[in-house]
Amino acid sequence: MILDRLFGRFSRDLGIDLGTSSTLVYVKGKGIMISEPSVVAVNTRTQQILAVGAEARKMVGKTPSHIIAAKPMVDGVISDFEVTEKMLRYFVDKVHREGFTLIPRPRVVIGIPLGVTEVERKAVEDATLHAGAREVYLIEQPMAAAIGARLPIQDAAGNLVVDIGGGTTDIAVISLGGVVTWRSLRTAGNAFDASIIQYCREHFNLLIGERSAEEVKISIGGATEQYDDLEGKVRGRDLISGLPKEVTINGKHVREALTRNLRMLVENIGSVVESTPPELVADIHQRGILLTGGGALLRGLGDLIQQETKIIVHVADDPLTAVVRGTGIVLEDLDNLRHMLVLSTDSDSPGTKR
């Protein structure tokens, strides 16, 4: 314990957005220093970590049988504890590499989706502690996103946040520093990619990978008809001949592929509004809906939600970093913002200590 405190003095405290698709790290006093894909390449013969982040992502779908480029996070929760621990340790060490810290022992504030079970929460706490943290604090991602977007969430007024990540979409009404009503969906960025893969399979007899689907979504994807004319090329394997094939795809195809996902998203936002107390609904109508997360960057998504819900929609400035910026703000003022954190699985107060 004494050694931990000693090493802790020379460590940099971290705010982490541990996402299904990417992990972002905020360093106290420095800002966001890491933004890398949540991918780890492992040699299964030696159990050696070959690459983490961007380097590992290049290997996805291109590895020999003894190398696995794995995503240790599925739907916002840890699916592979050991690999997640190694990935977190890599990021902790990377942040401290240029300093003189022999054994980093930072305090860590880490974002988790709404609705995770106690077991899933404990997995995040344990993986972070095993990765070298001396104290771990958990915060719900929509709460962190609202803080990162500088919403006045401690006021007695309703704020509706829709955080669309890679694995989950969290829809939450926040008031007085707490979540009033919420829903967590598995309809998010990865589900969008899967729908594009399925569409290409059914309409073009073309098998494409996750990365190709994501590139199509980013380059020409849109949620409304005004983006139908955008065009791009996608390459994959012809399901009939088995040979390589290139197809020209447009924004209308992508919109059709995403129709079901977008309808589900809009319906759930409506359901959350319906189950919100009337006084808070009046506030939301006045203040609007805030979109955060990578999914908020889909062209026309705000317009679609506004059209369907009749509530004005704002997209956060740099929506990708809203959650990690929120963890950073909490980290910088931990004593005053402690009440917004999730209770530890080991005690009745926020924070788990080694």
pLDDT at 9: 55
Q: What is the token pair recorded at 168?
A: 């989950």
Helix ranges, the chain (H): 2-9, 54-57, 81-96, 118-130, 141-148, 189-204, 210-220, 251-274, 278-287, 301-309, 322-332, 334-337
- The pLDDT-based confidence of 3 (bands split at 50, 70, 90) is very low
Kindly report the average pLDDT of the chain as a whole number: 91
Question: Residue 43 sits in a domain of what CATH number?
Answer: 3.30.420.40
- The pLDDT-based confidence of 6 (bands split at 50, 70, 90) is very low
pLDDT tens, residue by residue, 207-241: 999 889 999 999 999 999 999 999 999 999 999 99
pLDDT tens, residue by residue, 171-214: 999 999 999 999 999 999 999 999 999 999 999 999 999 889 99
Q: Are residues 67 and 161 located together in one domain of the fold?
A: no
pLDDT tens, residue by residue, 132-162: 999 999 999 999 999 999 999 999 999 999 9
- The pLDDT-based confidence of 10 (bands split at 50, 70, 90) is low
Closest among 314, 294, 299 to 228, alpha carbons compared: 299
Q: Are residues 193 and 222 located together in one domain of the fold?
A: yes
**Domain hosting residue 44, numbered range:** 2-144+322-353
Q: Are residues 207 and 269 located together in one domain of the fold?
A: no
Greatest mean pLDDT among 88-92, 283-287, 340-344: 283-287
Q: Could you tell me the pTM of the whole model?
A: 0.90
Q: What is the mean pLDDT of residues 35-55?
A: 91
Q: How many domains does the chain have?
A: 3
Say which DSSP state 298 is in.
S
pLDDT higher than threshold 80 for residue 354: no
Say which DSSP state 156 is in.
S
pLDDT above 70 coverage of the chain, percent:
94
**Do residues 150 and 347 make contact, with C-beta atoms less than 8 angstroms apart?**
no
Q: Are residues 137 and 8 located together in one domain of the fold?
A: yes
Among 234, 257, 280, residue at a domain's last position: 257
pLDDT tens, residue by residue, 91-120: 998 888 765 555 778 999 999 999 889 999
Closest among 337, 331, 333 to 135, alpha carbons compared: 331
Among 241, 257, 273, residue at a domain's last position: 257
Q: Are residues 167 and 233 located together in one domain of the fold?
A: no
- The pLDDT-based confidence of 343 (bands split at 50, 70, 90) is confident
Q: Are residues 294 and 348 located together in one domain of the fold?
A: no
Q: Are residues 11 and 105 located together in one domain of the fold?
A: yes
Q: Are residues 176 and 222 located together in one domain of the fold?
A: no
Q: Are residues 74 and 177 located together in one domain of the fold?
A: no
pLDDT at 268: 97
pLDDT at 100: 53
Q: Are residues 195 and 61 located together in one domain of the fold?
A: no
Closest among 63, 55, 15, 50 to 36, alpha carbons compared: 55
Q: Are residues 6 and 60 located together in one domain of the fold?
A: yes
Among 204, 224, 257, residue at a domain's last position: 257
pLDDT at 278: 95
pLDDT tens, residue by residue, 264-308: 999 999 999 999 999 999 999 999 999 999 999 999 999 999 999
pLDDT higher than threshold 90 for residue 352: no
Q: Are residues 95 and 69 located together in one domain of the fold?
A: yes
Closest among 142, 145, 149, 217 to 185, alpha carbons compared: 142
